[in-house]
């Protein structure tokens, strides 16, 4: 099995592993699983400024009307629509079934003045659906048929006014939950700077990033970070700071 012990192993080994450890106390029990608390967001200065929301459309409409009626010369400010950079605010979007990722999302949202928005599957995951010791729904989606894309409940998170998005999810079998891929593949994050974050028993975030990149290559994906749900606010503030205006 090599160095990918624990969650990055086959299901049989995982079941054995999961029977030995429980909850968040697993980290110390997994010599081969390295939590990547040290993985930090790319410090490349890519942070987008937080600026006021989109400019009023009425000004643009008025200019367009005047030009079409030829009552006045076409104003030089015709293209005064808000450029993308003027719509920059941070959004926090997450998927969570048992509350760990939600707890981190709430802390990130508090740190950047956003309201956390949940990705909700049209068919919510029951306890049986995530019972990884069985052939549960989550196991089928994450291991047996990776092409599954669970439908989303409406409304989906609205990040149209944000240029920077924090995207949170639990690690499921070393990967991004398929329902999160449904959201990313919808194009909702296209062209934005997205900072992934995750919670897990022990597995780091690095192995899940390639799936996100493939799901929407137009996104400016950052390296992201794994957190414990009990992460102190000071750590969250340091995580958010490079992306704040």
Using the rule CB under 6 A, which residue among 41, 196, 201, 224 binds ligand FMN? 201
Would you say 164 and 91 are in contact if contact means Cβ atoms under 8 Å apart? Answer: yes
> Is residue 158 exposed (0-12), middle (13-18) or buried (19+ Cβ within 10 Å)?
exposed
For ligand FMN, which stretch binds (CB under 6 A), given 112-120, 146-154, 166-174, 233-241? 166-174
Smallest separation, CB 207 to ligand FMN (Å):
9
Residues 6+ apart with CB under 8 A from 68: none
CB of 99 to ligand FMN, least distance (A): 5
Whole-number Cα distances in Å, 179 to 95, 120, 165, 202: 8, 8, 17, 21
Is the CB of 139 or the CB of 222 nearer to ligand FMN? 139
Shortest distance, position 172 Cβ to ligand FMN, whole Å: 4
**Which tokens sit at 204?**
């780091």
Contact with ligand FMN (CB under 6 A) among 47, 90, 93, 100: 100
Of the candidates 116, 150, 157, 170, which one interacts with ligand FMN according to CB under 6 A?
170
Q: Is 171 in the site for ligand FMN (CB under 6 A)?
A: yes
DSSP 75-118: PGGGG-SPPGGGG--EEEEE--SSSHHHHHHHHHHHHHT---EE
Q: Is 227 in the site for ligand FMN (CB under 6 A)?
A: no
The yes or no reply on residue 162 touching ligand FMN (CB under 6 A) is no
Contact positions with ligand FMN (CB under 6 A) in 60-99: 96-99
Stretch that binds ligand FMN, among 58-66, 68-76, 115-123, 199-207 (CB under 6 A): 199-207
CB neighbours (10 Å) of residue 29? 14
Binding-site residue total for ligand FMN (CB under 6 A)?
22
Other CB atoms closer than 10 Å to residue 210's CB: what's the count?
Answer: 12
Alpha carbons 29 and 229: distance in angstroms, whole number: 18
Interface with ligand FMN includes 199 (CB under 6 A)?
yes
- Using CB under 6 A as the binding rule, whether residue 174 contacts ligand FMN is answered as yes
Residue partners of 153: CB distance under 8 A and separation at least 6: 120, 121, 122
Q: Which residues bind ligand FMN (CB under 6 A)?
A: 7, 96-102, 130, 132, 138-139, 170-174, 199-203
């Amino acid at each position: 099995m090599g160095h990918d012990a624990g969650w990055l192993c086959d299901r049989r080994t995982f079941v054995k592993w999961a029977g030995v450890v429980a909850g968040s106390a697993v980290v110390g029990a997994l010599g081969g699983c390295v939590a990547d608390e040290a993985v930090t967001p790319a410090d490349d200065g890519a942070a987008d400024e937080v600026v006021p929301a989109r400019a009023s459309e009425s000004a643009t409409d008025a200019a367009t009307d005047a030009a079409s009626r030829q009552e006045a010369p076409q104003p030089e400010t015709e293209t005064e629509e808000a450029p993308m950079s003027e719509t920059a605010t941070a959004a926090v979007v997450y998927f969570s079934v048992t509350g760990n990722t939600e707890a981190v999302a709430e802390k990130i949202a508090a740190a950047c003045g956003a309201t956390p928005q949940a990705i909700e599957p049209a068919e919510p995951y029951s306890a049986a659906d995530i019972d990884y010791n069985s052939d549960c729904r989550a196991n089928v989606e994450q291991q047996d048929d990776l092409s599954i894309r669970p439908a989303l409940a409406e409304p989906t998170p609205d990040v149209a006014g944000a240029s920077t998005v924090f995207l949170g999810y639990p690690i499921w079998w070393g990967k991004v939950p398929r329902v999160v891929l449904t959201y990313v593949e919808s194009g909702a994050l296209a062209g934005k700077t997205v900072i992934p974050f995750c919670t897990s028993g022990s597995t780091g975030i690095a192995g899940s990033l390639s799936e996100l990149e493939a799901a929407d290559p137009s996104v400016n994906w950052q390296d992201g970070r794994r957190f414990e749900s009990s992460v102190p606010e000071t750590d969250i503030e340091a995580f958010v700071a490079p992306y704040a205006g």
